[in-house]
Amino acid sequence: MMKRTLLLSLVLTFIASAVFAETVTVITKENAIREYAKFFAPVKANVRYGDRLEAFATEGDWYKVKYGPSIGYIHRSAVEKRVVASPASYSRKGSSVSESEAALAGKGFNPQVEASYKKQHPEMKFYLVDSVERYPVPDRDVVQFIVAGGLRQP
Amino acid sequence: MMKKYVLLFCCVLLVSTLISCDTSNFGNISQHIGTAMTVADATSKAARPISEEEEYYVGRAVAAKILGSYQLSTDAVLTRYVNLVGKTVALNSDKPFTYGGYHFAILETNEINAFAAPGGTIFITHGMIRTTASEDELAAVIAHEVAHIAKRDGISAIKSARWTQAATIIGTTAAKNYTSGEVSQLVGLFEGSIDDIFKTLVVNGYSRSQEYSADEGALQTLAKCGYDPRALSSFLKRLEQRGRSSGGGIMQTHPGTADRIENISGKMPSSGQIHPRAIEARMARFSGAVR
């Protein structure tokens, strides 16, 4: 009787978790699972575009998620319910140029469309865009800035 | 007796599991995600079908085109300061994360303007920065641009005919079946999309309702940050005075400043009391960076 009750409880526990869970996909190049629902909370795991997470709770604008062995929080703007292609598919090396192009074109506007566009427009200053994107703004500097200016930590 | 304890233990285990499933809205995760996705899907359909990743690549090309028309500032102190204000604002916006993140850069021109390239790169001119009188006002300008990105206004500037064409190319065919000709057509659509957005950002401007909506979004973001939302109003008043004499730039691409001031006048959110020491600290670093 005792064993049966234990088994029943385990089954119910499993069902409860399954019923409330949803799979969400990371839609940013890279992001982090945080220890609690704050932008500057300690990082429990790093995730990348296309990674699938199991969301099983919400806390404000954050989802409580499971990714591998890690459980933590990710902001809702960093994930979507749909499945997205992994970036690995973009770097797939086809045996011919046309195959490679086709693989990328299937994703609409993507790195290869940009590459073709760059070839046609060498005057476009993409190297400056790269430098703007690479400009480092460490989290700790943002936190210090917020605190020193009497602003609210998000 | 033992059985009772086991049963009790099992109940506690089940209840605790259910509670851990949702710390705020028990059992509503599906509904929450579903609702969020429905809204996101509706927005996506209204603007046209484009993923966050595609938006990023379109935005990079728009940014490259802007940098073909304006010179990038090399002022290290000001660039760092604008990035810190920008990151603070973006994190408090409706959309703290985009595919490639938010980036902020200064354009070396006296023209008073700011541009939000789709996906998260924001350009603000030196002329615009010099028109602001405080960090809160600079944050207001940036919050307005971040709102355009969060609402995907840039992407909505792409002519709908291009999406019809793109849908025909991308369609339902498997990616591996695309021909080089179709790839070439996609590049053509990419170029056309960039031109549509660039023209809207630099020449024609967004619609009046998009500008009003970005102003309203900026007020909420400023209040969330702890900045004074009234800074947007004070900045617009100064802009109106400057605009009368200068013209061009933002005056050309934005609706009448007096109308924007009137639109936000009754919509100021409560931001709480700002400590005088915080005001002093912000003014000191603003003065140090904006020389």
Query: Which pLDDT tens digit goes with each residue over B182-206?
Result: 778 888 989 999 999 999 998 888 8
B74 domain-assigned? yes
B281: closest CA of chain A, how far (Å): 6
Q: Give the chain B residue whose CA is nearest to the CA of A37.
A: B23
The pLDDT tens digits for A88-131 are 443 333 323 233 333 333 357 888 889 889 999 999 999 999 99
Q: Give the chain A residue whose CA is nearest to the CA of B179.
A: A102
Instruction: Give the lowest-confidence range in A65-79, B59-73, B155-169, B246-260.
Output: B246-260
Instruction: Give the lowest-confidence range in A68-82, B207-221, B246-260.
Output: B246-260
B23 domain-assigned? no
CB contact under 8 A, A55 and B274: no
Does A9 contact chain B (CB < 8 Å)?
yes
CB contact under 8 A, A150 and B52: no
Nearest by Cα to B198 from B106, B69, B49:
B69
Nearest by Cα to B194 from A13, A106, A109:
A109
Taking the CA atoms of B183, B187, B192 and B196 in sequence, report the sign of the dihedral they define: positive
The pLDDT tens digits for A20-57 are 578 999 999 999 999 999 999 999 999 999 999 999 99
Considering only CA atoms, give the Rg of chain B.
23
Q: Give the chain A residue whose CA is nearest to the CA of B188.
A: A117
A87/B198: higher pLDDT: B198
CB contact under 8 A, B51 and A148: no
DSSP E strands, B56-206 = 103-107, 114-117, 121-125
Q: Taking a contact as any Cβ pair under 8 Å apart, which residues of chain B between 8 and 47 contact chain A?
A: 9-11, 13-14, 17-18, 20-25, 27-30, 32-34, 36-37, 40
B39 domain-assigned? no
Residues of A whose CB is below 8 A from B42: none
Q: For B217-225, what is the mean pLDDT?
A: 97
Cα separation of B153 and B214, whole Å? 9
User: Does residue B180 come out as left (phi exceeding 0), alpha (psi in the -120 to 50 range) or beta?
Assistant: alpha
Q: For A133-149, what is the mean pLDDT?
A: 97
Q: Taking a contact as any Cβ pair under 8 Å apart, which residues of chain A between 32 and 61 contact chain B?
A: 39, 49, 55-60
B60 domain-assigned? yes
B152 domain-assigned? yes
> What pTM, to 2 d.p., does this model score?
0.80
Q: For B95-122, what is the mean pLDDT?
A: 96
Q: Taking a contact as any Cβ pair under 8 Å apart, which residues of chain A between 125 and 144 contact chain B?
A: 125-126, 128-129, 131-133, 135, 137, 141-142
- Quote the pLDDT of residue B26: 31
Q: For B37-44, what is the mean pLDDT?
A: 38
Residue B80 DSSP one-character state? H
- Quote the pLDDT of residue A108: 77
CB contact under 8 A, B21 and A16: yes
Considering only CA atoms, give the Rg of chain A.
21
Domain count within chain B:
1
CB contact under 8 A, B278 and A151: yes
Distance set, CA B283 to CA A71, B120, B155, B276 (Å): 41, 27, 36, 11
B29 domain-assigned? no
pLDDT bucket at B152, cuts 50 / 70 / 90: very high
Residues of B whose CB is below 8 A from A123: 68
CB contact under 8 A, B179 and A98: yes
Does B2 contact chain A (CB < 8 Å)?
yes
Residues of A whose CB is below 8 A from B7: 5
pLDDT bucket at A17, cuts 50 / 70 / 90: low
% of chain B surpassing 70 pLDDT:
75
Q: Taking a contact as any Cβ pair under 8 Å apart, which residues of chain B between 204 and 223 contact chain A?
A: none
- Quote the pLDDT of residue A83: 58
pLDDT bucket at B20, cuts 50 / 70 / 90: very low
Domain ranges of chain A: 2-80, 92-148
Instruction: Give the lowest-confidence range in B78-82, B221-225, B264-268.
Output: B264-268
Cα separation of B205 and B198, whole Å? 9
Does A120 contact chain B (CB < 8 Å)?
yes
B247/B277: higher pLDDT: B277
pLDDT bucket at B163, cuts 50 / 70 / 90: confident
Q: For B219-245, what is the mean pLDDT?
A: 90
For the cut 90, the answer to whether the pLDDT of residue B131 exceeds it is yes
Q: Which of A24, A58, A121 sits opposite B24 (nearest CB)?
A: A58
Q: For residue A18, what are its two tokens?
A: 């399954």
- Quote the pLDDT of residue B43: 39
For the cut 50, the answer to whether the pLDDT of residue A87 exceeds it is no
B7 domain-assigned? no
Question: A2-80 has which CATH code?
Answer: 2.30.30.40
Structural domain that includes position B67: 46-289
For the cut 70, the answer to whether the pLDDT of residue B212 exceeds it is yes
A86/B188: higher pLDDT: B188
Does B1 contact chain A (CB < 8 Å)?
no
CB contact under 8 A, A59 and B40: no
- Quote the pLDDT of residue B28: 44
Residues of B whose CB is below 8 A from A129: 60, 63-64, 67, 121
3-class state of residue A31 by DSSP: strand
Q: For B241-245, what is the mean pLDDT?
A: 68
Does A100 contact chain B (CB < 8 Å)?
no
Q: What is the mean pLDDT of chain B?
A: 82
- How many Cβ pairs within 8 Å bridge chains A and B? 248
- Quote the pLDDT of residue B143: 98
- Quote the pLDDT of residue B161: 79
Residue B72 DSSP one-character state? B
B199 domain-assigned? yes
Q: Which of A6, A58, A77 sits opposite B10 (nearest CB)?
A: A6
